[in-house]
């Protein structure tokens, strides 16, 4: 394989730059020419494609976001749009494409392979950790650490004022960020979309903690269950303590990628080049039990990543 391209697509995630660097540097070490595509599939369509040089890759291993920029292009569902976009790859004789993003981005890649023969490999990059076939997606660990830092800060003021805080965290329809930040941050309550919950039970639990002499409550609310402000509204009148809501928002997606994110991004990036060199296509890379694995790329949207029930129950038990 002589020419390959890389793009990042969907929501950005810390560690995407690290993955781009690994793909490009590893490919260059094998004599492969590497193109960067700006703004995901939008840049493929608009011909924002340029050859990457070693200079582009310097000093990006620890930079959050994606220097290739990212976008969501719903029109890519349209076969004519894909046919137009692929012309820009073919005119540069680009045979392989590495897509760093979530399941929607992988879907687009799969269609480029099936319809136009471009060899594609997906690398899971999203803070949500919602892709089947991998224990971790790139970005999840960094975001988890940002949330843990926020929990510690909020707990300080929650204790001083003896308040109940609801902290709304990202994750789209997945509860992983809320679950693991509750587990690792010592959260006192957890609401995730994968599990039913009762407002009355939560209120009872908060009141019981106060009877035990506890001075604060930090409740993790996954955005997938709805707005934390609405949950607070429903709790009003049922809990005795004063309540506050903090929506962490997009600070969760920025900042220097953690060590774990950099390691998985680097390993997955290099492996994507190995797979393309072996002539493989239509695959996604994952990491399971600390080993790199591959699945057909369709696994990302055909299988649902399940929540770990044992971890969920442990978070609830320790939060009481
Ligand atoms: O998928 C990543 C994510 O950060 C989700 O957790 C969140 O729901 C969404 O993207 C936010 O998207 P936007 O950046 O378009 O507001």
Domain ranges of the chain: 3-139+257-302, 141-253
Would residue 56 show up in a list of annotated catalytic residues for this protein?
A: no
Which of 12, 110, 128, 176 is catalytic? The answer is 128
Domain 141-253 sits in CATH 3.40.50.460: yes
Pocket lining: 231 vs ligand 1, CB cutoff 6 Å: no
Burial class (CB in 10 A: 0-12, 13-18, 19+), 306: exposed
Q: From atom 1 of ligand 1, which residue's Cα is the shortest distance away?
A: 11
DSSP letters of 37-72?
ETTHHHHHHTT-EEE--GGGGTT-TT-SS-TT----
Task: Quick: pLDDT tens for 165-216.
Answer: 999 999 999 999 999 999 999 999 999 999 999 999 999 999 999 999 999 9
Pocket lining: 126 vs ligand 1, CB cutoff 6 Å: yes
Which pair of structure tokens corresponds to residue 139?
Answer: 């970005």
Give dist(CA 276, CA 119) in Å, integer. Answer: 7
Query: Quick check: ipTM above 0.95?
Result: yes
> Which CATH architecture describes the domain 3-139+257-302?
3-Layer(aba) Sandwich (3.40)
Please answer whether residues 40 and 88 qualify as being in contact, where contact means their C-beta atoms are separated by less than 8 angstroms.
Answer: no
Task: Return the best residue to mutate from 172, 193, 224 for the ligand 1 pocket (most ligand atoms within 8 A of CB).
Answer: 172
Please answer whether residues 83 and 116 qualify as being in contact, where contact means their C-beta atoms are separated by less than 8 angstroms.
Answer: yes
Which pair of structure tokens corresponds to residue 58?
Answer: 């310097």
Kindly give, in sequence order, each residue whose CB lies less than 8 Å from that of residue 73, ignoring residues fewer than 6 positions away.
9, 40, 41, 42, 45, 81
Fold match, 3-139+257-302 / 141-253:
yes
**pLDDT band with cut points at 50, 70 and 90 for residue 72:** confident
Please give the radius of gyration of the chain, using alpha carbons only, rounded to the nearest integer.
Answer: 22
CA of 241 to the centre of ligand 1 (A): 31
Span 255-269, average pLDDT = 98
Pocket lining: 52 vs ligand 1, CB cutoff 6 Å: no
Task: Classify residue 172 by its DSSP letter.
Answer: T
CA of 28 to the centre of ligand 1 (A): 32
Give me the phi and psi of 42, to 5 degrees please. Answer: -65, -40
Pocket lining: 105 vs ligand 1, CB cutoff 6 Å: no
Cα–chain center distance at 164: 28
271 or 72: which carries more pLDDT confidence? Answer: 271
* Residue-level pLDDT at 11: 95
**pLDDT band with cut points at 50, 70 and 90 for residue 320:** confident
Give the mean pLDDT of the chain: 97
Which atom of ligand 1 sits closest to the CA of residue 72? Answer: 15
Task: Quick: pLDDT tens for 78-97.
Answer: 999 999 999 999 999 999 99
Cα–Cα distances in angstroms (integers) from residue 24 to residues 45, 62, 209, 251, 273, in the given order? 21, 16, 53, 28, 9
- For the whole model, what pTM was predicted? 0.97
Question: In percent, how much of the chain has pLDDT > 70?
Answer: 100
Q: Which residue has the tokens 């997906």?
A: 122
Pocket lining: 140 vs ligand 1, CB cutoff 6 Å: no
């Amino acid at each position: 394989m002589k020419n390959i391209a890389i793009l990042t697509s969907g929501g950005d995630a810390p560690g995407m730059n690290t993955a781009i660097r690994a793909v490009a540097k590893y490919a260059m070490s094998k004599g492969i020419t590497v193109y960067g595509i700006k703004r995901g599939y939008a840049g493929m369509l608009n011909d924002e494609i340029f050859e990457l040089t070693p200079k582009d890759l310097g000093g990006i291993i620890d930079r959050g976001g994606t220097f290739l920029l990212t976008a969501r292009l719903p029109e890519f569902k349209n076969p004519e749009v894909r046919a137009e976009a692929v012309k820009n790859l073919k005119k540069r004789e680009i045979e392989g494409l590495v897509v760093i993003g979530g399941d929607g981005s992988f879907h687009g890649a799969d269609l480029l392979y099936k319809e136009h023969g471009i060899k594609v490999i997906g690398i899971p990059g999203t803070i949500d950790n919602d892709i089947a076939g991998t224990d971790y997606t790139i970005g999840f660990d960094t975001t988890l650490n940002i949330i843990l830092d926020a929990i510690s800060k909020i707990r300080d003021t929650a204790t001083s004022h003896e308040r109940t805080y609801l902290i709304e965290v990202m994750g789209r329809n997945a509860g992983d960020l809320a679950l693991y930040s509750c587990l690792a941050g010592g959260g006192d309550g957890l609401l995730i979309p994968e599990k039913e919950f009762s407002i009355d039970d939560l209120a009872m639990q908060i009141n019981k903690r106060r009877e035990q002499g506890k001075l604060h409550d930090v409740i993790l609310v996954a955005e997938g269950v709805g707005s934390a402000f609405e949950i607070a509204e429903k709790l009003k009148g049922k809990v005795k303590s004063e309540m506050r809501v903090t929506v962490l928002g997009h600070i969760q997606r920025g900042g220097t990628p953690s060590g774990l994110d950099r390691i998985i991004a680097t390993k997955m990036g290099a492996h994507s080049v190995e797979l393309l060199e072996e002539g493989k296509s239509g695959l996604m890379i994952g990491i399971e039990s600390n080993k790199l694995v591959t699945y057909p790329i369709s696994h990302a949207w055909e299988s649902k990543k399940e929540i770990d029930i044992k971890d969920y129950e442990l978070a609830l038990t320790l939060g009481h």
